């Protein structure tokens, strides 16, 4: 053994294609279609007849600006289109109109990952292979459907900042949610409105240089993305461990078999002969366009999570969870607001952190037991009601367990929290109520061994006495209070 | 200037098939043209902006309003091989031995 | 030959408008004339069977011959190529629709160099066009058919396209007027692309007034063409009486042994005529224009190589029958469908854009282009117009230059710089001259170029000069519509 191999770290970058949900195509007025009969949304322009010319879709530009702003990108004051030349039946002009060295969006950031650039381009048509391909000379054909050809795309390229497959999939989910909330795309991986390719390489840990990267394509779910990257990382590590070198290639991951197979490249020499598109004039986003794009941005997940953490004191995980679901987040904020507006000491005891725990914890669990999916814009438990439940618990008017009961009742039948407490007799036994003291005294007497152990220093033994009290009070006593009373009774 | 190998490479990029005779002729003709065209290399153009666009226009855009598409029959009418509403072409896969 | 054929477009339109003449009568006269095409100038023209509907408008009743590079819905459009044989576009070019809207009608589609690549109309897949002045000679190109029909009495006017001189040069060789407007003045939508940043539609007519009338109808911003702007203020019929107060610059660089002596004589004589009309002649310097051909023959083929890649046999046009795979189909189709000049330019253009060569060729040529444009701007601060011979020679013999592509390219020497700069230029017939080596005298064109969007003043000056030269008076007996042999 010559010595152990240096540890290899993963270096991953993502290339994301987002299909924009405009009404018409990028360069012509044909409507975007989904699942229609082939070739019913075409025109001389997107069929690349002789003499036609492209004219850019204004809405696509606006959507691209929104994406760029959401990713904190530098917006280029002037960007141009380029032709990317290659022959393939899904590319009717035999060039794709894209952006090359002067894209509309420059460097930016989303979460922990830096964005390298984002640009506009048009989607290719759809090619369906039929018949036997490969084996018999001349047989095998493809059928082309140009409905999709010309759909506006924004291509987002990250820096290779990701260090693992799970991290990459998680970040991809964040990106998806961010773009979804902009309302500029369906971002559905299965339908193809979101496509994620990964550039994967490894290098000795601590090294600054980049290893040779391979490109993984055609993973159409976040899970497959993760597994594909995992598989490729494993493969690369194996190759290097065996003394081999990684060759730059494009690979297809088959999730069923776990196999990675090299893909045939479209343009053998990869010489796209880029040159500026003479049929289109430059884009120079105006102050007004930028302002409108900025105003169109909702509060996005990353910013919202940040706000929840820093301003509302939430912990990272619930903050991220809520931030990813805007309807739930809005509900959460409504509950906080209702609690803040309510009168009484108990209301003042409510913190956003508590509300977050109730919303993401108990409420979600209770709702999940029902058949139908909850619509938080029309919630089963109105915000003021949940706020009241949380306040009652925070103010020790009812126990946490009782709170759950009230919530269950609210979900089941609705009603008023205080009335439910009254009706079910859930009011917490007051600590200075003689009744509780009496029950505590009786419990201590009924558990002499436990009492002895506690006096001797065994803290855990108090549980038996607490349990006795809880049973007697049907859970209406506050656990902390009971503990205190028992210890007081034991003279500790 | 330009040699046979380059001519064959360029022909492949351009999806043109040239006979041997054509390759020879093309090599000679292109070399002649390129020797004239190469003059542009003699000019010192450091710092000169290339003209990407002749008209000084920006932001010429189109409203996101649908325009009628071609009826499918019309779209497929000029097609050399229309099949079931699609354009049929030989498979991109090269024949394997 | 009908007397009606003697009317200029402006005259005919005026008489039709005044109800002095019916559109049907006028059109029918031309329909008949078009049928007697012996120059191979038309690829097709309307027959008796085709019905013409009368329309009002500034060009009401006027038949126009249209270069077969403009898409005309439902009727054959070939761009002079085998690869589009039988192709009928599903739409009509904006320029043609505008003529339509002005009341004009398409009389026929004219022959042309394949995909507009050529200076002699010998590159057509449908045979060469003959020059009406001498049928053993070329009419020029690539709008050779359009020039020949006008000069040959087969149409009162025509439209063509000019990328490096393809309207002006054939106009010069055929003794008619040809105008290349400012890039962006006329929509390119529906005009089969050769070199996108250079192609422009323009009229070929008997006189400057007709050219103005057609330009007025053709110019304008088109929402289907992002690069179109139109001409602010529109175009009015020219009326200038002399050239007093105007300065005409002769570029010192655009000179040389390559100019035929006869052409030089006519050029010098025209300069004198300008002075007689009150104009001033000055020398200007366009240092980069000497590299015009070199830059042009990088840029135009480069854009063409990309524009012509769509001819792949997939969606329309010719497809070669092959037993092989997709690549074989592409290669077989394109190799059979394109002629040698087109292949040559596709190769040249692909090479100029290819990896490792872009900076030296395409990138460098774009910089030369900037310099050429700057040269003109500089010149126009000293003079109102720049003038040159349109072509270094008169019409040459069929087959004379087909063996040497480079020699053919040099025909564009005077016209290419204006194309690269995007500025308007007109060629008007200025005289007749013997070809180098002797023979019947043939037309010589005089080119006048103006700053961008200065078409009105260009037409005014050209009109005054045209009247002053009196070419039409001199050649009237030779004109086919006057019963002449030409």
Q: In what order do the strands lie in the sheet with A126-130?
A: A126-130, A141-145, B86-90, B82-83
- Model confidence at A35, pLDDT cuts 50, 70, 90, reads confident
Q: Do A205 and A271 have their domain in common? A: yes
Three-class secondary structure of residue C44 per DSSP? strand
Q: Is the pLDDT of residue A475 over 80?
A: no
Which of C294, C314, C376 has the highest number of chain B CBs within 10 A, making it the mutation to test binding with B?
C294
**Which tokens in the block code for residue C109?**
């589609």
Kindly report, residue by residue over A111-169, the tens digit of the pLDDT. 899 999 999 999 999 998 876 544 433 458 999 999 999 999 999 999 999 999 999 99
Q: How many domains does chain B have?
A: 1
The tokens for A126 are 């759809």
Do A443 and A363 share a structural domain?
no
> Which of these three, A397, A424, A451, is where a domain ends?
A424
Structural contact between residues C331 and B17, judged by C-beta atoms closer than 8 angstroms: yes
Indicate whether B50 belongs to any domain.
Answer: no
Q: Which of A389, A424, A459 is the last residue of a domain?
A: A424
Please tell me the total count of domains within chain A.
3
Structure confidence by residue, pLDDT tens digits, C216-272: 999 999 999 999 999 999 999 999 999 999 999 999 987 766 899 999 999 999 999
In a domain, B10, yes or no: yes
Residue A1 falls within a domain, yes or no?
no
Note whether residue B54 is domain-resident: no
Q: Indicate the residue of B6, B26, B41 with minimum beta-carbon distance to C364.
A: B41
Is residue A5 predicted with pLDDT exceeding 70?
no
Nearest-angstrom CA–CA distance, C451 and C330: 43
Same domain, A328 and A392: yes
- According to DSSP, the β-strands at C105-110 and A108-110 are unpaired
Average pLDDT estimate for B28-46 = 91
Q: Give the confidence band of C49 by pLDDT, cuts at 50, 70, 90.
A: low
- Catalytic, C381? Answer no
Inside any domain, residue B88: no
Of the residues C120, C166, C187, C419, only one is catalytic, namely C166
Identify whether residues A265 and A412 lie together within a single domain.
Answer: no
* Residue A268 pLDDT exceeds 70: no
Residue C270: enclosing H or E segment and its boundaries? Answer: helix C261-276
Tens digits of per-residue pLDDT, C334-384?
999 999 999 999 999 999 999 899 999 999 999 999 999 999 999 999 999
The whole-number average pLDDT for the span C60-83 is 96
Q: Please provide the average confidence, as pLDDT, over all residues in chain C.
A: 95
- Supply the pLDDT for residue C215: 98
Is residue C412 over pLDDT 60? yes
DSSP conformation letters of B42-82: GS--TTPPP-S-SS------B-S---PPPPHHHHHTT-SSE
Nearest CA in chain C to A283: C226
Please report how the helices B20-37 and C292-307 are oriented relative to each other, as an axis angle in degrees rounded to 10: 140
Token pair recorded at residue C185: 């003045």
Which candidate, C404, C407, C423, places its Cα nearest to that of C415?
C423
Q: What is the largest CA-CA distance in chain B?
A: 58
ipTM: 0.96
Give chain C's domains with CATH numbers: 3-242+456-474 (3.90.1300.10)
More confident residue, A68 or C22: A68
Contact B76, B70 (CB under 8 A): no
pLDDT tens sequence across C149-183: 999 999 999 999 999 999 999 999 999 999 999 99
In this structure, are A361 and A322 located in the same domain? yes
Cα separation, A58 vs B63, in Å, equals 6
Interface of A with C in 91-120 (CB under 8 A): 92-95
Residue at token pair 């160099």: C113
pLDDT in tens, C231-242: 999 999 999 999
Cβ atoms of residues A33 and A40 within 8 Å: yes
Check whether residue A340 and residue A372 sit in a common domain.
Answer: yes
Contact A149, A121 (CB under 8 A): no
Residue A65 lies in a domain: yes
Please report the beta strands in C31-124, taking only residues with DSSP state E, as ranges in sequence order.
42-45, 63-67, 105-110
Name the band, by pLDDT with cuts 50, 70 and 90, for residue A433: low
Cβ–Cβ gap A138/C325 under 8 Å: yes
Size of interface B-C (CB pairs under 8 A): 166
Domain range for residue B37? 1-41
A86 and A42 inside one domain: yes
| Residue A121, H or E segment | strand A113-122
* Nearest beta carbon to residue C226 from set A49, A85, A279: A279
Instruction: Give the Å distances, CA to CA, from A331 to A89, A335, A337, A383, B14.
Output: 50, 6, 10, 7, 60
Whole-number pLDDT of residue A135: 40
Q: Where are the alpha helices (DSSP H) in A369-475?
A: 383-394, 400-413, 417-424, 434-446, 448-456, 462-473
Give the model's confidence band at A266: pLDDT under 50 very low, under 70 low, under 90 confident, else very high: very low
Contact call for residues A98 and A81 (beta carbons, < 8 A): yes
Higher pLDDT, C467 or A457: C467
Residue appearing with tokens 């075409």: A42
Instruction: Write the CATH number for A479.
Output: 1.10.10
A35 and A101 share one domain: yes
The Cα–Cα gap between C429 and C424 comes to 17
Q: Are residues A136 and A80 part of one domain?
A: yes
CA distance C126 to C129: 9
Q: What are the helix (H) ranges across C186-245?
A: 208-218
Neighbours of A312 (CB within 10 A): 17
Is there a single domain that holds both residue A59 and residue A83?
A: yes
Same domain flag for A485 and A363: no
* N- to C-terminal Cα separation, chain C: 14
- Any domain includes B35: yes
Tokens standing for residue C175: 């003794």
Nearest Cα residue to A73 out of A15, A156, A17: A156
Q: Which domain holds residue A472?
A: 434-489
Contacts of C155 (CB under 8 A, 6+ apart): C30, C33, C34, C63, C64, C65, C107, C108, C149
Is B62 domain-assigned? no
Which positions 124-163 of A are in contact with B (Cβ < 8 Å)? 127-129, 131, 133-146
Query: Is residue A264 domain-resident?
Result: yes
Q: How far is CA C446 from CA A179, A189, B61, C215, C468, in A?
A: 61, 64, 40, 19, 13
Asked if residue A451 is part of any domain, the answer here is: yes
Closest CA to C304 of A485, A302, A95, B18: A95
Answer yes or no: is A429 within a domain: no
Examine residue B76 and state whether it is found in any structural domain, yes or no: no
Is residue A338 domain-shared with residue A441, that is, in the same domain? no
On the CB side of C311, CA atoms within 13 Å amount to 34
> Is residue A467's pLDDT more than 60?
yes
Catalytic residue among C67, C109, C180, C401: C67
Q: Could you tell me which residues are beta bridge partners of residue A260?
A: A253
């Amino acid at each position: 053994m010559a010595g152990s191999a240096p540890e290899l770290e993963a270096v991953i970058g993502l290339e994301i294609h987002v299909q924009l949900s405009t009404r018409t195509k990028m360069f012509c007025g044909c409507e975007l279609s989904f699942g229609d009969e082939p070739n019913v949304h075409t025109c001389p322009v997107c069929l690349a007849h002789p003499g036609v010319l492209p004219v850019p879709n204004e809405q696509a530009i606006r959507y691209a600006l929104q994406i760029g702003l959401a990713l904190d990108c530098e917006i280029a004051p002037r960007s141009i289109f380029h032709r990317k030349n290659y022959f393939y039946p899904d590319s009717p002009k035999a060039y794709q109109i894209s952006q090359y060295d002067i894209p509309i969006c420059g460097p930016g950031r989303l979460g922990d990952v830096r964005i390298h650039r984002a640009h506009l381009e048009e989607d290719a048509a759809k090619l369906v292979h039929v018949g036997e391909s490969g084996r018999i000379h001349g047989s095998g054909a493809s059928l082309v459907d140009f409905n999709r050809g010309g759909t506006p795309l924004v291509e987002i390229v990250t820096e290779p900042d990701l260090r693992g497959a799970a991290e990459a999939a998680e970040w991809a989910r964040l990106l998806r949610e961010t773009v979804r909330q902009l309302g500029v795309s369906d971002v559905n991986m299965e339908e193809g409105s979101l496509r994620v390719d990964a550039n994967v390489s490894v290098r000795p840990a601590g090294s600054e240089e980049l290893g040779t990267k391979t490109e993984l394509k055609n993973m159409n779910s976040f899970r497959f993305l993760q597994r594909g990257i995992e598989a490729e990382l494993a493969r690369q590590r194996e190759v290097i461990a065996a003394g081999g070198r990684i060759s730059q290639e494009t690979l297809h991951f088959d999730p069923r078999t776990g196999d990675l197979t090299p893909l045939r490249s479209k343009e053998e020499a990869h010489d796209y002969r880029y040159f500026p598109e003479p049929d289109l004039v430059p884009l120079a986003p105006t102050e007004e366009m930028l302002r409108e794009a900025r105003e169109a941005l909702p509060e996005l997940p990353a910013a919202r999570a940040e706000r929840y953490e820093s301003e509302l004191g939430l912990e990272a995980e619930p903050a991220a969870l809520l931030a990813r679901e805007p309807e739930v987040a809005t509900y959460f904020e409504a509950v906080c607001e209702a609690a803040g507006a309510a009168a009484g000491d108990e209301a003042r005891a409510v913190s956003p952190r508590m509300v977050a725990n109730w919303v993401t914890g108990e409420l979600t669990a209770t709702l999940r037991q029902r058949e139908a999916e909850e619509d938080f814009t029309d919630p089963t438990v109105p915000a003021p009601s949940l706020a009241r439940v949380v306040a009652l618990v925070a103010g020790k008017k009812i126990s946490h367990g009782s709170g759950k009961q009230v919530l269950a009742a609210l979900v089941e039948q609705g009603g008023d929290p205080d009335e439910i407490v009254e009706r079910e007799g859930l009011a917490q036994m007051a600590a200075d109520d003689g009744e509780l003291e009496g029950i505590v005294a009786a419990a201590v007497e009924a558990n002499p061994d436990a009492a002895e152990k506690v006096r001797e220093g065994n803290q855990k033994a108090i549980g038996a006495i607490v349990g006795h009290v809880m049973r007697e009070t049907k859970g209406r006593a506050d656990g902390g209070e009971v503990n205190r009373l028992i210890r007081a009774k034991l003279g500790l | 200037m330009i040699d046979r190998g380059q001519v064959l490479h360029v022909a492949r990029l351009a999806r043109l098939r040239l006979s041997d005779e054509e390759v020879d002729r093309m090599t000679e003709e292109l070399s002649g043209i390129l020797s004239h065209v190469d003059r542009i290399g003699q000019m010192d153009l450091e710092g000169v902006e290339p003209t990407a666009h002749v008209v000084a226009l920006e932001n010429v855009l189109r409203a996101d309003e649908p325009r009628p598409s071609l009826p499918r029959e019309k779209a497929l009418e000029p097609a050399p091989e229309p099949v079931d509403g699609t354009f049929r072409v030989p498979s991109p896969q090269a024949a394997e031995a | 030959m009908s007397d009606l054929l003697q009317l200029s477009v402006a005259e005919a339109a005026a008489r039709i408008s005044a109800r002095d003449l019916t559109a049907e009568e006028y059109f029918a006269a031309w329909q008949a004339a078009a049928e007697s095409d012996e120059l191979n100038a038309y690829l097709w023209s309307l027959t008796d069977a085709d019905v013409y509907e009368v329309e009002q408008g500034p060009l009401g009743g006027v038949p126009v011959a249209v270069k077969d590079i403009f898409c005309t819905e439902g009727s054959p459009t070939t761009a002079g190529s085998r690869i589009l044989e039988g192709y009928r576009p599903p739409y009509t070019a904006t320029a043609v629709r505008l003529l339509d809207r002005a009341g004009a009608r398409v009389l026929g589609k004219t022959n042309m160099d394949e995909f507009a690549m050529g200076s002699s109309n010998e590159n057509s897949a449908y045979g060469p066009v003959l020059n009406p002045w001498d049928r053993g000679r070329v009419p020029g190109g690539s709008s050779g058919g359009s020039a020949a029909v006008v000069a040959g009495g087969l149409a009162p006017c025509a439209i063509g396209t000019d990328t490096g001189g393809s309207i002006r040069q054939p106009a010069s060789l055929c003794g008619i007027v040809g105008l290349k407007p400012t890039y962006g003045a006329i929509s390119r939508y529906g005009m089969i692309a050769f070199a996108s940043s250079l192609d422009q539609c323009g009229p070929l007519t008997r006189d400057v007034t007709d050219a103005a009338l057609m330009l007025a109808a053709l110019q304008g911003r088109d929402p289907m063409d992002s690069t179109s702007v139109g001409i602010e203020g529109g175009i009015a019929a020219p009326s200038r009486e002399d050239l007093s107060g105007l300065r005409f610059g002769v570029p010192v660089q655009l000179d040389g042994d390559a100019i035929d002596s006869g052409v030089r004589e006519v050029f010098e004589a025209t300069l004198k005529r300008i002075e007689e009309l009150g104009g001033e002649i000055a020398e200007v310097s366009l240092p980069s224009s000497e590299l015009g051909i070199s830059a042009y023959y990088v840029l135009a083929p480069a854009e063409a190589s990309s524009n012509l890649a769509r001819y792949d046999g997939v969606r329309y046009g010719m497809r070669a029958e092959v037993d092989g795979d997709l690549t074989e189909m592409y290669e077989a189709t394109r190799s059979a469908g394109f002629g040698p000049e087109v292949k040559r330019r596709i190769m040249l253009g692909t090479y100029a854009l290819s990896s490792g060569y872009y900076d030296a060729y395409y990138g460098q040529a774009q910089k030369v282009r900037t310099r050429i444009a700057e040269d003109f701007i500089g010149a126009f601060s000293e003079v109102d117009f720049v003038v040159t011979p349109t072509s270094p020679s008169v019409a040459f013999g069929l087959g004379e230059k087909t063996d040497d592509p480079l020699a053919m390219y040099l025909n564009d020497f005077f016209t290419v710089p204006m194309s690269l700069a995007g500025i308007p230029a007109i060629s008007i017939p200025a005289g007749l001259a013997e070809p180098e080596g002797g023979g019947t005298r043939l037309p010589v064109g005089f080119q006048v170029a103006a700053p961008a969007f200065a078409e009105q003043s260009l037409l005014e000056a050209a009109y005054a000069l045209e009247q002053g030269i009196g070419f039409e008076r001199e050649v009237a007996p030779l004109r086919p519509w006057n019963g002449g042999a030409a």
